[in-house]
Each structure stands twice: as C-alpha cells, then as structure tokens.
Structure 1
Amino acid sequence: MTLPSDPVANLAALIRCPSVTPADGGALDALQAMLAPLGAVCEQVAFAEKGTPEVNNLYARLGTGRPHLMFAGHTDVVPPGDESAWRHPPFAARIDGGEMFGRGAVDMKGGIACFLAALARYVERNGPPPGSVSFLITGDEEGPAVNGTVKLLEWAAARGERWDAAIVGEPTCRETLGDTLKIGRRGSLSGTLTVIGRQGHVAYPHLADNPVRGLLTLAEALLSVPFDAGTDDFPPTNLEITSIDVGNPAVNVIPARAVASFNLRFNELWSVESLKAEIGRRLERASREARLRPGHAAPIAFEVEWRDRPSPVFLTRDRQLVGTLSASVAAVTGRRPELSTTGGTSDARFIKDYCPVVELGLVGQTMHMVDERVPLAALEALTRIYLRFLEDWFA
C-alpha cells in the first residue's frame, strides 16, 4: 500500500476540497484516506452549539505508547473572494512556475500535507514510532473557534488521551522557511465602550450632551499612557480602537450615545482580570476629570461590555520541544529560527492547557490573499524539517 510520503500530492488532494469554513468539503475524508495506509486509527467527530454552525473534526492516532506527539491544524479555509481575480481556480491545485496555487496552500493545508508526508517517510525508514503520533484537525479555526479544537481536546482527553508535546502547523515564517518558531502567543481581550449622552438639536447644544466628546476623552485615556514596555519574550501590550459609531444618519442631531470597539494584545505582565481592572481605573479617572461639555457638572457616563472568550497569554519553555525543533530547522536550512511570540492568536491557545506546544509552518506572505500559493521546494523543505524532528524527538 502506497504511503502518503509526497507533500505535493497530499496538498493537491486537500486543496481540491472546497472546505470554506464551516463546510468540510470532503477535506477530512481525504485526510483520513491518506492516514489509513499508515495504520492510524481515525475518528471524525461533529460538535455544535446554539448560535454556531455544526463543525466536523478529525482525531487520528498512530501507536499506543508514550511519548505521545500531537500535530494540530485545520482544514477549513477562508473564502476565496472573487474567483475571477485568481490566476488559477482557487480549488484546482494548479502548479505554475514551481508553485502550487490554491486556497489553503499556506494556511494551513500545506502544513498538514508536509507533516503527513514526514510521518510517512519516518515509517518507511524506521517503522512505527516508539510511541504515538496523533493528528488533531479541526474545521473551525477560521470560524468562531467554538466547535473545533477546544471541544476536540476535551473530547479526546475525556477518552484518556494524554500528550507530551504538540506542534501546530500554522504558517509562522515571515520571509524564508524556518526563520520563525512561535513559542507562545500574546493574549487577546476585546471590549465595547459606550458613552451615554443626551440627544438634541445641534443648534441648541446646551439642551443636549454630545457623547462623542466624552468618547474621545475616554479613548484618549486608554491610548495615551503605555501599558508596559514589553518583556524579554513579548512586545509591549497594545490597545487599538477598532471602530467608532454613533448610528446617526442626520447631520443636525446630536446623538444619544457613542460606541467604540477596542482590542488589546497583551504580554505575561497582565492577566485578563488585571487588564479589565486597569481599563476600569483609566475610564473612571477620565470620566471624573473631564465632562461632555465645559460647564456640565456630571461625570461622563459610560458602560464597558467585554467580549466572550478572551485569549490568555502563554509561553512554552519546554527545552526538549523547542530545542529539538530549532535544531531540526537548522539541520535542514542552515540557520536557527527566531523564537517569537508575535502575531495573532491560534488554536495553540487551547492546546497549551494540555501539553507544551509550539508552532512551525510555511511562510505566510500569501495567506488569505488572492493567488495564495506555496513553492514546491518549500513543501519539500518543511517535510524534511518535520522528518528530522520526528527522528530526533523519538530518539
């Protein structure tokens, strides 16, 4: 039986499945078919929650012993957008100029294809690993991330699954393959600030309270003073105002309220709770010291609503995992990767509660773009990195 040792063929099979989140598009069936010749035990599990779409997920395990290595990723992809703008159809997996084009080529069907090929080559060379390798693959990473990795981990752990380390195959590299290894992620916290005023006619401002004035004052209180200077492992905590809205179509009406959305990306100097407290202190102080309009005695009235499911900060310090994977990158590329915690969130934020986790994948420059593509040479190189890691880690 032919093993799936060619990352190019593996990726082509996955790209041809139009798995735009939350649709599966046959991607998990295709992956399960490729895992079958390795002797992996596979199970697809669907999860649902009120207000969110049902999502299919795949858990596969090769071996029964320890140590147990998890590879995690997702087969769902973002929409291709205007397909006529693509050089090649987004789900055709066409090869042009030494590159494969297709939605998910980089983010992150390419990473899955390479790790699968690396495991197949390991088995060809060495037989089954002296431990276990599992695949934890979701169809919900690009969506709300409610019915995917977080529930699949809970499901697997309830069945007695335990892991010693995990690799997430997200496209972590910036410019060249292997230049970046993610060993943690900043936390993410989002909220909505509402300033409450009094609606009125713009010609009679003394009869109204314009909430836009108060919103600008409170926003300045959030933005003007740095939260920290960063740490050895993380950049400074940062807050961004992402939208401001008054819902007012008229130019001669002072609105009744003004709303701003904001997001913080924070380092290990903060927790979700301590950040919420700091935001509250800044807003309370500014609301007392300023007014919606000079001469008005009342403090600025405001409300803060926090979004569900904030992401905590985490940092992986497991020397065996980080050191072995860094050495594998160096052995294949000739340079050691930069250990980084930058970028957005990923499903590693769920996995870190179960075992040490790092992220290493392809160069992410074309992810989510028209003409998303990956050089065939990069697929081969990443496969060799993963293979070297498997051999050294299990050794």
Structure 2
Amino acid sequence: MCAEVRDSLVELTSKLIQLPSVNPPGFTVNIIGFIKDWLTSRGFSVEIREYVKDKPNAIVRIGKGKPVLILNGHVDVVPPGDETRWSYPPFSGKVVEGKIFGRGSSDMKGGVAVLMMVFSKLAEKIEKSGAGTLILAATSDEETGGHPGVEALVKDGILRGDAAIIAEPSGSFRYYVGEKGLCQVKLVARGRPAHGSLPILGDNAIMRLVNSLIKARELVDDFNSRIKIPSELVGVIRNSAEAYYEAVGKSLGLRIEDFERVVGTVSFNPGVIRGGSKINMVPDHAELELDMRVPPGVNPNDVVNTLRSGLKDVDLEVLDVSQPNYTPPSERIVSLVHEGISRVLGREPKPIIVTGATDGRYLRYSGIPTVVYGPGELGLAHAYDEYVTIEDLVNTYNVLSYVITKFFNL
C-alpha cells in the first residue's frame, strides 16, 4: 500500500469519528451526507433510502450482472458515556501513536472508511471488466436493531446479492461466520396485597418471581445439556472461546472453557427487575426482563416453550426473538476471506461466532452468504478510550482488496 492510501484511510476514519451519530437518537443525516458527498466527488451516483426520518441509508453500485458482492457498514454509534473518563474527547478522532481514538473508531467507522476506500479504488477496474456488480451500503440504526437500515433494505429488495462482507470489528487476523440468536422474555408475577406486618394475609409477587427465576435457570440448564451444535461449527465455537478469552477473559481470571460454554449454549442474564410500591406492603406485582442468547442449531422458540411449560407461577411475555445464523465455512466468500488473511498477512486466520447480533443476520436470513471482517477488536467496541489502530486499517484494506479482486476474477 502506498503512503497516500494509508494517509487517506487515517484522515477519512478521523473525519467520520468527528461526525457524531449517537444512537439513540440515531440521527445520521450529517454523516450520510458526508459519505454521499465523498462518493459523489469521485464520480459515483449515490442513492439515499430513508425509512425513518433522519435515519437515511446511502447505497452506491457499480458494474452490472452477476456475481453481486455487497459491502456494508453501519454509521451509528453507541453513546460515549461519561466523557470525563476519556483520555481524549470522544469525537475528536485524535491520532496518537498509531491509534485513532474516538467513539465509533472500532465499531465501526474505521470499517466504513476501509469499505469506502476499497470501493473507490476498485470500482473502475470492476466496471471496465464487466465482471459483475459491487454494492456499497452505508446504513443506519444497527445499534438499536437495524430495522430502518439493513433489514428494510433487504425487505425492499435493494440489497440482493451472491455474497456480502460487513466490516464490523473482527480484528484483521480473524473473521466472523455467524452469531447467536436472541431470546428476550418478561416474567410477570401477580400476588395479593396486604400490610407488611402481616405478610401471611397476602401473596408476595416478588417471592413468586424470585422462585420462578430460580426455576427458569434450572430449566435452561437442563435445555443446554441436550443441545447439539452443528458439526461444522464445533471448531468455530472453540475458536470463538479462545478469541473472547484473549480479548477480555484472561485479565478477569476466566478460562477458555467458560467462554466455550457461553458461546455454545443458551446464556442467561436477568437484566431488569421491577416490583412493589412500598416497603411495608406485600407486593401484588413484580416483573423481570430476561435476556438469553441462543447458539446455532437451537430455535429460540423452543427455549420460550420450555420456560412457558415449566413456569407455573408467572406469566411469560415474549419481548424479542431472532434466529441464530451462520454462513457455512465451505461457502466461497468464507474461503476467499480466509485465503486473503493467510496470503496477504501471513497468518492462519480463525473463523468465529459472536455472542451479539449484527446486521449480518438480515442478509443471511435472505440467503446471502455473509462474512464479518473489519478493523478493530472485540474488547474495544462500546468501551471508554475506544480506538482503532492504523495497522488494522491497513491490514483489512489490503485483505479486502485481495478478496474483492479474487471474487470478481480480476
């Protein structure tokens, strides 16, 4: 890579960070406008699709016919939190000792910058060769579900293709082939009020809820003992556990086996609890919101049914469900990313599955083989002093240039 491209990558990443796009509220008009102007100034025609006010998406395509490759990145970021805990202002995009600091640097404005640069550099070659179609989609709202972003674009038929790459932060030496599904439910307990000094006259909803929570954990543990992970993902689960251990677990005294269990089973996290109105009253209502993440090979509706049939003292309400999803390691786009990392960077890469959700699920649900590969590390997203290294930007740019060139047989 020439110094000019490297410097342009750094400058573009820093500029994107300096355009706040915090979600909530998730307004992305300014940053999408900047991306549109940047692409337009380079001769590209940009389409804007807006499904929710002030949350537009920018789509640009070059070439024609098949195969079709989609490059995707979201432009919204999580809130910076307590800004006094940052070493540098969270929207400064400051470059210090080979790192670019700021909210969204890793998740995922560094990735968006890489995609913009790769697209602009390879577009003419792809178009002149007639080798197929390359699409770049800068999208909104991923941090709160991606519904007016990638999900809407897929449903509208705007994003259709033979393969996709999302530049979420994977680190330049690994890539994601899948992610766990979502199973979020609310447990609601109802009792009978009474004076707190005579609890035998009432029916304590909080106690009902606590007992049901303990039972729910037992039911999920039993469910987990019977899970069968798809054979082609057994090694991927182990890779994932090792990646999480290295990124965040070692410093906390956790083991690789701890992460292997979390990635390969249904996780269990009571996240919100509400109940009672006064200390000297027997509560007649209590509720708890329970977050569970479901590995490939498991249907989250089966988890819901297990809880519903086993919990007798509470009502169960489903809050949100999404299916776990993955792209088989045998798919061509997976092989190309694997090969690209190996040949360009000289490292044997490791495919992993992540515990959270990305917009990749909407593409996979529609039958598009999707790989997540981009600059940044697992432990940096959403953290104070978030940063992306210039080395990672350069590495992922070089790998993606290789992958796209090979994909179109250029």
Tell me the TM-score range normalised by the shorter chain: 0.7 to 0.9
What CA distance in whole angstroms lies between the structure 1 residues aligned with 2:110 and 2:68?
23
Q: Which residue of 1 aligns with 2:223?
A: 227
Post-superposition CA distance 1:86-110 (Å, at most 9, x none)? 3222222221111111221111010
Match of 1:34 in 2: 38
Residue 333 of structure 2 corresponds to 321
Amino acid at match of 1:278: T
Which residue does the alignment assign to 1:290?
A: none
Aligned 8 A contact 2:331 2:369 in 1: no
Which amino acid in the other structure matches residue 17 of structure 1? L
1:41 positional shift? 2.7
Within the candidate set 5, 20, 26, 1:18 is matched to: 20
Q: Is the 8 A contact 1:93 1:102 kept in 2?
A: yes
Residue number among 274, 282, 286 corresponding to 1:245 in the alignment: 274
Contact 1:168 1:357 in 2 (8 A): yes
Secondary structure of 2:142's counterpart equals coil
- Give the aligned residue type for 2:119: L
Aligned residues: 364
CA gap 1:67/1:265 in 2 versus in 1, 3 angstroms: same
Unaligned runs of 5+ in 1: 288-299
Aligned to 1:291: none
Shift of residue 116, structure 1, vs aligned partner: 2.1
**Contact 1:239/1:264 (8 A) holds in 2:** yes
Give the partner amino acid of 2:137: L
Q: Is the 8 A contact 2:206 2:276 kept in 1?
A: no
SS at match of 1:269: coil
In the alignment, structure 1 residue 164 sits paired with structure 2 residue 153? no
2:189 to 174, 179, 195: 195
Deviation of the 1:343 alpha carbon? 2.0
Question: Which aligned runs of 4 or more in structure 1 are off by greater than 6 angstroms?
Answer: 124-127
More helix by share: 2
Distance 2:335 2:193 in 1: 61
The whole-number CA distance in structure 2 between the counterparts of 1:131 and 1:4 is 25
Whichever residue aligns with residue 314 of structure 1, its letter is N
Counterpart of 1:134, as a letter, is I
Q: Which amino acid aligns with 1:20?
A: V
Cα distance change on mapping 1:126 and 1:361 into 2, 3 Å = same
Distance in structure 1 (CA, Å) of the matches to 2:54 and 2:276: 33
Q: Structure 1-normalised TM-score? A: 0.85
Match of 2:298 among 267, 270, 287: 270
Name 1:292's counterpart in structure 2. Answer: none
Q: Which digits, 9 at most, give the CA deviation of each residue in 1:272-298, with x for residues without a partner?
A: 332221111221xxx3xxxxxxxxxxx
Cα deviation for residue 25 of structure 1 reads: 5.2
Normalised by the length of structure 2, the TM-score is 0.82
Q: How big is the shift at 1:82?
A: 3.2
Does structure 2 conserve the Cα–Cα contact (< 8 Å) formed by 1:311 and 1:345?
no
| Mapped contact 2:105–2:386 kept (Cα < 8 A) | yes
| Deviation at residue 163 of structure 1 after TM alignment | 0.3
Flag the 1:128–1:385 CA change in 2: closer, same or farther, 3 A: farther
Partner residue of 1:388 out of 399, 402, 407: 402
- After superposition, the C-alpha distances for 1:220-241 in whole angstroms (9 at most, x for unaligned) are 2211233224524251122222
Question: Where does residue 357 of structure 1 map in the other structure?
Answer: 370
Partner of 2:179: 185
Cα separation, 2, equivalents of 1:201 and 1:189: 37
User: Quick one: structure 1 residues 206 and 91, their matched pair in 2 at CA, closer, same or farther if it must change by over 3 Å?
Assistant: closer
How big is the shift at 1:323? 0.7
- Whether the 8 Å contact between 2:62 and 2:123 is mirrored in structure 1 is no
* Residue 380 (structure 1) shift: 0.7
Q: Pick closer, same or farther for the CA change 1:85–1:213 going to 2, 3 Å.
A: closer
Percent of residue pairs bearing the same amino acid type:
26
- Deviation (angstroms), 1:171: 0.9
Amino acid at match of 2:32: L
| Residue pair 1:54, 1:147 contacting (<8 A) in 2 also | no
State the distance in 1 between where 2:123 and 2:137 align: 19
Separation of aligned partners in 2, 1:203 and 1:55: 54
Contact 1:188-1:311 within 8 A present in 2 as well: yes
For 2:198, the equivalent position in structure 1 comes to 204
> Comparing 33-42 with 328-337, which one deviates more in the overlay?
33-42
Please tell me whether the aligned partners of residues 276 and 282 of structure 2 are also in contact (alpha carbons under 8 angstroms).
no
For 1:142, the equivalent position in structure 2 comes to 143
Answer with 1 or 2: which has the greater Rg.
Answer: 1
Task: Return 5+ residue gaps in structure 2 as ranges.
Answer: 238-263
The residue correspondences of 1:107-118 to structure 2 (distance < 5 A) are: 107-118=107-118
Match of 1:43 in 2: 47
After TM superposition, give the deviation of residue 71 of structure 1 in Å: 0.9
Q: Secondary structure at the match of 2:381?
A: coil
Code of the residue aligned with 2:47 in structure 1: it is E
Contact 1:7 1:116 in 2 (8 A): no
1:154 aligns with 2:151: no
CA positional deviation for 1:126: 7.0
Mean CA deviation greater in 56-65 or 135-144:
135-144
- Give how far 1:194 is off: 0.6
Structure 2: distance between partners of 1:260 and 1:138: 33
What is the one-letter code of the residue matched to 2:80?
P
Paired position in structure 2 for 1:257: 285
> For residue 271 of structure 2, what is the amino acid of its counterpart?
T
Local SS of the residue matching 1:106: helix
1:341 maps to a residue whose letter is I
- 1:297 is matched with none
Q: Check 1:164–1:39 CA distance in 2 against 1; reply closer, same or farther (3 A cut).
A: farther
Equivalent residues of 1:39, 1:62 under 8 A apart: no
